Amino acid sequence: MTAMKTTAIRWAVIVGTIAAAITPIAARATDPVLPPPYAGVYQPQGVDEIGLWHDDDDDEHALAASPLVIRDEKLTAYVKRVLCDTVGDDRCAPIRIYIIREPAFNASMSPNGTMRVLSGLFLRVRNDSEFGAVLGHEFGHFESRHTLAAFKGRRSGTDLLAWTALLASVAPSYGMARSYDDLRYSVYGSIFRHGRDQEREADRLGIAYLNHSHFRPQSASVMWHTVMAEAEASARAKGLKKPNFKTIAFTASHPPEAERAHYLAALAAPDDAGRADGADRYRAALAPWMPVFLDDQIKLNDFGGSDYLIENLAETGWTAPLWLARGDLYRTRGAQRDYANAATFYANAIDLDPTLAPAFRGLGLTLVKTGRTTEGQDALRRYLALSPTAPGAKLVRMMVPQGTNP
């Protein structure tokens, strides 16, 4: 056996050892699972976990004073109620929730019990059940101590790479350098794979919470179909190729969306499909913030994705804020063909709510753009009458002829 073959075999053994250490064997995603017994209030154990909690306590202190946090007691109480209804009152009692104004689909939990919910999540779910699916998933990460496991896995991998880099530098050769590169890719791949396995475990816990709650567990799969449909609509509007939801990139930290939608549907208790989904409570809680969150989404300049989200929310019934948002979306894109559609959408919003001042503003600006100046100015006058002290009122008055201001 040549020296190069011996070296390769030794490196293969090392690669296999570190992969086993970093990535424990995960249970199949479709195996049935029950929520673990509640063990009471948890306290950090060991130097690593105590250190992580200390860092999270510092981060939470800064987060509590952040201007990005939405300080709405009713909205925060709604999110906490959905979490408690999903995982149980005993589990959720010590959790602190912060809603961050950021138009992205995400939520997360820190090891010390801090939950962050980005405002974009509200637009991508349509009821309590779908919201609970996301919150339960994040709570599954928390209850399984995934952050600690990931921290230890990354440290083990990077420590190994540091030592092998040192050893490789002592006996440099082409074969040694190539073997080190193989090890490096294997370690990084194991870390990413470990992250995907953690996501699958959190998915399984999340669906277990839903199965044992009063929510409809099938909503977890529906929510991921919504995510995929939004991505497809966004790509289609940009003339891009349809995303492939079945592939796993080397550096992916999450399983493919299609895989998640499939195994979450399989894990949902079939006898519970008739449960209530809490759509009415969701709409009532979101109503004061819907115009704000929709406006933030439109400003992302993602026409296809935004239009899909508006239509998806409207499946349970069009509202004045949804028509207003769609009018703003089309008017903002600014193609001449969009103005006729925007005018119709604003008119629909006004039909549902004749006191919705922003709809008159959007209608007026749209009509002026299409040469219907007199009608547009009439709509702008109505806007000024309804909202004379609005931030943009001064600019709008400049568009209305003198002597006709309200």
Strand partners, 69: 100
How many other CB atoms sit within 10 Å of the CB of residue 29? Answer: 21
Least confident of 183-197, 320-334, 339-353: 183-197
Total number of domains in the chain: 2
Any domain includes 298? no
pLDDT at 292 over 80: yes
**Amino acid (1-letter code) at residue 85:** D
Are residues 168 and 252 located together in one domain of the fold? yes
* Whether residue 378 sits in one domain with residue 264: no
pLDDT band of 47, cuts 50, 70, 90 = confident
3-state DSSP assignment of residue 101 = coil
Q: Let me know whether 211 and 338 are in one domain.
A: no
Start-to-end CA distance of the chain, whole Å, equals 95
Domain enclosing residue 152, as ranges: 26-270
Is 318 found in the same domain as 263? no
Kindly tell me if the per-residue pLDDT of 16 is higher than 70.
no
Give me the phi and psi of 116, to 5 degrees please.
Answer: -110, 130
* 295: three-class secondary structure by DSSP: helix
Q: What does the pLDDT read at residue 18?
A: 42
Residue 295: per-residue pLDDT: 96
**Is 350 inside any structural domain?**
yes
Residue 331 CA to residue 187 CA, distance in Å, equals 50
| pLDDT on residue 53 | 75
Looking at the fold, whether 213 and 129 belong to one and the same domain comes out as yes
Between 200 and 191, whose confidence is greater? Answer: 200
Q: Where are the alpha helices (DSSP H) in 212-256?
A: 219-237
> End of a domain among 245, 270, 295?
270
Domain closes at, from 235, 270, 305? 270
169 falls within a domain: yes
Q: Which of 55-64, 185-194, 251-260, 284-293 has the weakest average pLDDT?
A: 185-194
142 has a pLDDT exceeding 90 = no
Query: pLDDT value at position 14?
Result: 43
Pairing of strands 96-100, 107-109: unpaired
Q: Could you tell me if 205 and 321 lie in one domain?
A: no
- In the predicted model, is pLDDT for residue 68 greater than 60? yes
Q: How far from chain centre, in Å, is Cα 124? A: 8
For residues 189 and 328, state if they share a domain. Answer: no
* Pairing of the two strands 107-109 and 114-118: antiparallel
Domain assignment present for residue 162? The answer is: yes
209-249 tens-digit pLDDT: 999 999 999 999 999 999 999 999 999 999 999 888 887 66
Residues 264 and 318 in one domain: no
The CATH number covering residue 393 comes to 1.25.40.10
Last-in-domain residue among 270, 287, 302: 270
Kindly state whether residue 322 falls inside one of the protein's structural domains.
Answer: yes
Q: 345 and 197, same structural domain?
A: no
Residue 378 lies in a domain: yes
- 184 with 71, same domain? yes
Q: Say what the pLDDT of residue 157 is.
A: 46
Q: Are residues 37 and 176 in the same domain?
A: yes
List the structure tokens of 105: 């689909």
User: Using CA atoms, how far apart are residues 147 and 155, in angstroms rounded to an integer?
Assistant: 12
pLDDT at 92 over 70: yes
Does residue 17 lie in a domain region?
no
Residue 178 identity: R
Is residue 12 assigned to a domain?
no
Tokens of 276: 């209530």
Q: What is the DSSP letter of 214?
A: S
Q: Do residues 319 and 256 share a domain? A: no
Of 54, 350, 359, 17, whose CA–CA distance to 157 is shortest? 17
Nearest to 139 by CA among 123, 105, 115, 117: 115
